[in-house]
Amino acid sequence: MPLNEPVLTKRIPTWPWSDPKGRHIVGYDEFVSTGGYRALDKALSMQPQEIVQLVKDANLRGRGGAGFSAGLKWTFLPPVDGGRRYLCINCDEAEPGTFKDRLLVDFDPHQVLEGIAIACFACQLDTAYFFIRGEYHHQAKVMLKAIEEAYAKGVFGKQGLLQGKSKFAVECHLHRSAGAYICGEETGLLEAIEGKRGWPRIKPPFPAVKGLFGRPTIINNVETLAAVAPIVEHGLAWWKQLGCESGIGGAPSYGPKLMGVSGHVTRPGVYECDLGIPLSTLVNTHCLGMRHGKKFKGAIAGGVSMGILGPDQFDAPMDFDIGRRCDVLGLGTACPTVFDEDTDMVAVARNIARFFKNESCGQCTPCREGAGWIYKLISRIENYDATSKDLDLLLEIATSMGLTPGTTICGLADGNNFAIRTIVSKYRSEFEARVKRVSIPVTLASSRG
């Protein structure tokens, strides 16, 4: 066992847990009474490779932001060699505008734990780390109590999964983040669990081959794992009835998706919808329309790093093809932040730039320095203290840093890149209205001659 791994007590907590805000949290007994852990029971009667193939055939795409096939990721693991193998659950939900994983933890933690148990059995991973955002104080308590209850009821522990129905034993631990956004990047998450600074690692080697403590590791999002149990229980045909096919030749977007809507809507909240629902339907039907009857001006589709949808993209389908359709980085977490007609988009860009400047880990020079330059330039533009040359320089800096041009280790700079350049390109008139249309004489360069 690696050093500093926590040892969990196996006491049985009292459920429903007394929550100060009166929220109802589903405990083990209630979860089981409504069909909980039935999918795990079914999974344990299957061969592990059957489950992996099922999830792969379902094309369950990652719900944490990247949209990569979870089943395909599972196939990257090397053969079992008798050593430790890990599952890391990413609940470091620090992307601005995103608040959907916390709902699963808040109200239905055993739904997530069942998915964790199935994934561990399918991939033969004997140790799971639930990595939760440092600011999620209440959620950490809820999940820890659910894990303790799962131990007490025999879901996890040395006796084997599900009271020993399978001899394969899984240990599950909770690990709290220190609160840095960069720890949501998968290799930064691994470094943090190991007790190091949360700096992303250079890849390859990839985590599936050499991850946590140098051993094979799978990293999945909370919502992704919560979807595993329904797939196992109800099968492919049921799963593929939900969501949508790709409209432009890409991989399909099957299944439902939690979509947390915030901003200038009448009823913000988290809604479970089929992938492919138009943003306008999500806003007008579920969120009861734009607040105070104002017009739609734009929306960040799924966390600020994905970029922005313009005023003519209100009907954009919320699926994994949205990136290619709408010139954004992707669907991300599918948690849109909606802006009305009165929003100052220059101020939005400045606020986003400040976030990325503060959250850059500083490991890569283009991101560390570029994020600061971008923030300074946008601040100057917002204050009417910039020229048209500054606007050109802003776009030049944004497009020259990140994984896409190959200048950084992780994708934080790409998030900064897409956020800034999509806002500038789709609302350029607002930026041009703030700059002075003058040329700067090159007196300094000539004097040096």
**Alpha-helix residue ranges (DSSP H) falling in 165-277:** 186-193, 222-226, 228-234, 236-240
Q: Which domains does the chain have, with CATH numbers?
A: 28-238 (3.40.50.11540), 243-335 (3.10.20.600), 345-436 (1.20.1440.230)
Report the pLDDT value the prediction gives residue 24, as an integer from 0 to 100.
Answer: 83
Q: What angle do CA 33, 173, 3 make, to 5 degrees?
A: 160
| Residue bearing tokens 């992996």 | 52
Q: What is the pTM (predicted TM-score) of this model?
A: 0.90
Q: Six-digit token pair at 229?
A: 């149990």
Exposure letters 6-36 (e unless 16+ CB within 10 A, then b):
eebeeeeeebeeeeeeeeebbbbeebeeeeb
The residue among 447, 411, 71 whose CA lies nearest residue 227 is: 71
Q: Rounded distance, CA 418 to CA 413, Å?
A: 9
Report the pLDDT value the prediction gives residue 188, as an integer from 0 to 100.
Answer: 95
Kindly list the distances between the CA atom of residue 377 and the CA atoms of 285, 374, 421, in Å, as whole numbers in the listed order: 39, 5, 13
**Alpha-helix residue ranges (DSSP H) falling in 69-108:** 70-74, 101-107
- Cβ contacts of 293 within 8 Å, gap of 6 or more: none
Report the pLDDT value the prediction gives residue 337, as an integer from 0 to 100.
Answer: 97
Report the pLDDT value the prediction gives residue 444, as an integer from 0 to 100.
Answer: 38
What pairing do the DSSP bridges indicate for beta strands 86-91 and 217-221? parallel
Report the pLDDT value the prediction gives residue 438, as an integer from 0 to 100.
Answer: 53
The residue among 153, 140, 86 whose CA lies nearest residue 116 is: 86
Q: Rounded to the nearest 10 degrees, what angle do helices 365-382 and 388-398 cross at?
A: 150
Q: Which value, in Å, is the radius of gyration of the alpha carbons in the chain? A: 23
What pairing do the DSSP bridges indicate for beta strands 337-340 and 256-263? parallel
Each residue's pLDDT expressed in tens, for the chain with a length of 449 residues? 343 443 333 333 444 455 656 678 899 999 999 999 999 999 999 999 999 999 999 999 999 988 899 999 999 999 999 999 999 999 999 999 999 999 999 999 999 999 999 999 999 999 999 999 999 999 999 999 999 999 999 999 999 999 989 999 999 999 999 889 999 999 999 999 999 998 999 999 999 999 999 999 999 999 999 999 999 999 999 999 999 998 787 889 999 999 999 999 999 999 999 999 999 999 999 999 999 999 999 999 889 999 999 999 999 999 999 999 999 999 999 999 999 999 999 999 999 999 999 999 999 999 999 999 999 999 999 999 999 999 999 999 999 998 888 899 999 999 999 999 999 999 999 999 999 765 544 443 333 33
Report the pLDDT value the prediction gives residue 441, as an integer from 0 to 100.
Answer: 47
- Sign of the CA dihedral with 154 first, then 159, 164, and 170 last: positive
Report the pLDDT value the prediction gives residue 116, as an integer from 0 to 100.
Answer: 98
